[in-house]
């Protein structure tokens, strides 16, 4: 049977808000030699989707995403689905395999061409919905705690933004690493963060997280609502400050100024500031997926959307109020 020449997708030709998105027919992608075609079953949303939609901060455009208009017309990066065609150079996958991966773009579509190097096998015991919520967010949490934070058993870890897409994973992973976790979130999410294993939960609306006797071996900041100098007040003398936020949303450079200031502060502090640059990593994807299948890592889903509701999904994402993850299914 001949495959259809078009597929349904969310596409755009300009940077902007959700209003620039159009849902309709686009040409079906052609498989590349070192890639596979994946029938998309679910796409997870994360903060990067908003930045790539709006093209902000502007410095982002200089990183190869397109200066005046986006190079990638179909957004969506965190994908889970089924392989339906295999390129001639592919060795790890076959038609029918269930996969998940972090792509450059193209996920908000019925079919996407995905490089083999960016995909991991989806364990049978993990749903497509849960699998799509792992790329970017869960791997960022893992790399932030394991590699940047170097979390060890018995340490104390403060997670600022504990109820968000990365934070819900970070709380659980830090606990699994043997740490005593303090989570910071809004009042409405206190019970959620506690249910994920946090020993202590602070409400950022009423608790002063920078006061009190507690001293943390690792601070994992996912919000950027306090300067690094303030967090240093509650850090152990040789603690590590891991920033995946940077602070501020400068329209031109985003968090770059804050990140540079934090790195400069390492010159006079024994507690290093470590900017987190999480990278796609298939082994890490397989790691977090195995934890979900084993029941030791929980995926918190806030909202579910259909493909034609992607503009609404991204509008909600842009509010910054997401609780855990939101996911799109075709």
More confident residue, 158 or 229: 158
- Count of CB atoms situated within 10 Å of the CB of 300: 22
Mean pLDDT over all residues of the chain? 91
The stretch 61-81 carries a mean pLDDT of: 84
Is it the case that residue 253 has pLDDT exceeding 50? no
The stretch 281-289 carries a mean pLDDT of: 98
Least trusted range by pLDDT, from 35-39, 208-212, 260-264, 294-298: 260-264
Superfamily of domain 6-135+280-329: Medium-chain alcohol dehydrogenases, catalytic domain (3.90.180.10)
Q: Quick one: pLDDT band at residue 260, thresholds 50, 70, 90?
A: low
> 179: which residues sit within 8 A by CB, 6+ positions away?
151, 152, 153, 154, 155, 156, 157, 217, 218
SS3 296: coil
The pLDDT, as a whole number, for residue 79 is 98
The pLDDT, as a whole number, for residue 136 is 95
Q: Say whether 137-275 and 6-135+280-329 share the same fold.
A: no
Tell me the per-residue pLDDT of 261-274, one tens digit each, with 9 for 90 and over.
677 676 667 778 88
Q: Running DSSP on this structure, what letter comes out for residue 114?
A: E
Is it the case that residue 65 has pLDDT exceeding 80? no
Tell me the per-residue pLDDT of 181-207, one tens digit each, with 9 for 90 and over.
999 999 999 999 999 999 999 998 888
In angstroms, the CA 179 to CA 152 distance is 7
- Count of CB atoms situated within 10 Å of the CB of 62: 10
The pLDDT, as a whole number, for residue 32 is 97
Break the chain into its structural domains and give their ranges.
6-135+280-329, 137-275
Superfamily of domain 137-275: NAD(P)-binding Rossmann-like Domain (3.40.50.720)
> 59: which residues sit within 8 A by CB, 6+ positions away?
252, 253, 254, 256
pTM of structure: 0.93
């Amino acid at each position: 049977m001949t495959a259809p020449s078009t597929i349904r997708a969310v596409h755009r030709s300009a940077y902007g808000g959700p209003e620039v998105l159009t849902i309709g027919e686009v040409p079906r992608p052609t498989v590349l030699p070192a890639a596979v075609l994946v029938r998309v079953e679910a796409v997870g949303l994360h903060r990067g989707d908003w930045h790539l939609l709006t093209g902000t901060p502007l410095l982002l455009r200089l990183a190869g995403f397109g200066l005046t208009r986006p190079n990638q017309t179909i957004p969506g990066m965190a994908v889970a689905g089924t392989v339906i065609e295999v390129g001639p150079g592919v060795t790890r996958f076959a038609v029918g395999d269930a996969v998940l991966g972090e792509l450059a773009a193209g996920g908000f579509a019925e079919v996407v061409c995905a490089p083999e190097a960016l995909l991991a096998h989806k364990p049978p015991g993990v749903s497509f919905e849960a699998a799509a919520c792992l790329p970017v967010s869960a791997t960022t949490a893992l790399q932030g705690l394991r590699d940047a934070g170097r979390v060890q058993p018995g340490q104390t870890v403060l997670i600022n933004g504990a109820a968000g897409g990365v934070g819900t994973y970070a709380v659980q992973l830090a606990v699994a690493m043997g740490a005593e976790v303090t989570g910071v979130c809004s009042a409405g999410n206190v019970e959620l963060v506690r249910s994920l294993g946090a020993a202590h939960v602070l409400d950022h609306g009423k608790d002063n997280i920078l006061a009190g006797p507690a001293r943390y071996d690792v601070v994992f900041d996912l919000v950027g609502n306090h300067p690094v100098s303030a967090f240093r007040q509650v850090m152990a003398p040789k603690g590590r400050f891991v920033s995946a936020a940077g602070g501020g949303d400068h329209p031109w450079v985003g968090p770059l100024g804050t990140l540079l200031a934090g790195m400069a502060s390492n010159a006079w502090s024994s507690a290093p500031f470590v900017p987190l640059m999480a990278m796609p990593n298939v082994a890490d994807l397989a790691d977090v997926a195995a934890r979900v299948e084993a029941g030791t890592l929980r995926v918190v889903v806030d909202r579910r959307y259909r493909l034609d509701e992607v503009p609404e999904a991204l509008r909600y994402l842009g509010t910054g109020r997401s609780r855990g993850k939101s996911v799109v299914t075709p």
